[in-house]
Structure 1
């Protein structure tokens, strides 16, 4: 009788767990990235005193995908599989992230932009479209301000141009907290310095405390065609700040992704890919 009771209780717990999982909205979920396809080439490039991991897929007009803070390039698995059908897709791990090294230089968006420009030089790519998520979107905006000759278009998702564009309670959000936990697990598996995650986070947090901080005049300099993109349930970036960016940057296109959050590329790969293609391929 006791065994039957235990089995019944376990069954109820399982049913509850399944029901809870099914009840989660798509924008609350944090799926694992799709597997990356086979690369045309990959390796590390010596840029600005670090070794930067990169990979190249497919052929055609180039598009550079830049991941967000604490992340790594494999987050783009669902996008690389689609875009590499008719594009040369370049991904990389930003300095200190994933398989790339870091040094004692303070993190800044200018420095990280310089890393990616040096990588493009290393790969002999003069000009590219850029798809950036979060910190990657900020890097895209930085390059559009300072080095527009290197870009054809920028798709900047979940980016901010001032620190007050970030929601003050973002770290209390369970989905965002889950992302930070997963990022730490990945770092400890693939980083050249697997025991230094806390030191890395502390180092990059210095940048986040004061950057970005561009003026309206800075944004008005942007001439590169740019899409300012936000999931309608983004946990980190306010809609008000996103609207401000789209209104301030000349000719910017505002794109709101339905039923998606900061992690839209994972939650809705097909919808995300369509939004990217609708912008960079037209």
Structure 2
């Protein structure tokens, strides 16, 4: 299905039934990337699975790829679908977008899971930043053997736009960002989730948890020392940035947090 949102013709799917959950994919992917774990999320939830600007079946528009703008898109989709404070779960780019929805529109979100989403550009390992600096249209030929290219060619409204998507996502990754103050003010109960061998070190996600009043004291017998906002931290063992979204640990831990 498609929704006219902020000038986008945004593609989305719904799976399952129950309390709504918006599930946001990573960069150069689409909702299809959650195929191995979608059934786990949809077992007792209605999962809304959008394709973000320029990704999957949502054609690009004349606008930068910016998580702040994409956060506005998801808030508008929530309104368009008449959802009552759905939970929002995002991975990587989608995790950054999920955070923006909660920063900008906390009243529209129930609970939040931000997976593998650093909040400062300089928290990413330097060698990964160097690799990101190589992403652009010139890399399109080298990308033709990748699952991202295969998916894009199969589903995109304009498959010839793949080099343009690489240019725009490369430009987006080159922009410095620091959302420390926005995280400090988060009013939505948030699970900070990451792989133990992610693009940022585990210490970064511990730092994010500390901004949310987490890990600063003993939790207490009755949980009275836990973060006041209901926030939590999960570092998933044996995973990387590249397989976390395939792991059954992701929905298991995310859903346990969302049920609270």
TM-score band (shorter)?
A: 0.7 to 0.9
How far is 1:126 from its partner? 2.8
- Equivalent residue for 1:229, pick from 165, 181, 193: 193
**Equivalent position of 1:255 in the other structure:** 234
The structure that has the greater radius of gyration is 1
Q: Where does structure 1 lack aligned partners over 5 or more consecutive residues?
A: 1-42
TM-score (structure 1 length as normaliser)? 0.77
* Separation (CA, whole Å) in 2 of partners of 1:163 and 1:79: 28
Contact 1:108 1:211 in 2 (8 A): no
Check whether the contact 2:78–2:108 (CA below 8 A) recurs between aligned residues. Answer: no
CA contact (8 A) 2:202 2:235 kept: no
CA distance in 1, matches of 2:165, 2:182: 29
Match of 2:136 in 1: none
Runs of at least 4 residues off by over 6 Å: 177-180
SS of the residue corresponding to residue 39 of structure 2 reads helix
The alpha carbon displacement at 1:172 in A equals 5.9
Which residue does 1:210 correspond to in 2?
Answer: 175
Aligned pair partner of 1:245 in 208, 215, 221: 208
CA, structure 1 residues 188+202, in 2 after alignment: closer, same or farther (shift >3 Å)? same
Match of 2:139 in 1: none
Deviates more, 1:140-149 or 1:247-256: 247-256
The 5 A counterparts of 1:63-212 are 63-170=21-128, 181-212=146-177
Where 2:240 maps in the other structure, the secondary structure is coil
Matches of 2:55 and 2:126, distance apart in 1: 24
Query: Relative to 1, partners in 2 of residues 1:179 and 1:253: Cα closer, same or farther, differing over 3 Å?
Result: farther
Displacement of 1:70? 0.7
Mapped to 2, the partners of 1:185 and 1:115 lie a distance apart of 26
For residue 260 of structure 1, give the secondary structure of its aligned residue in structure 2.
strand
Q: How many residues align?
A: 233
Structure 2 unmatched runs, 5+: 133-141, 214-226
| Deviation of the 1:265 alpha carbon | 2.3
- TM-score of the two chains, using structure 2 as the length reference: 0.83
Let me know the Cα RMSD of the aligned residues. 2.1
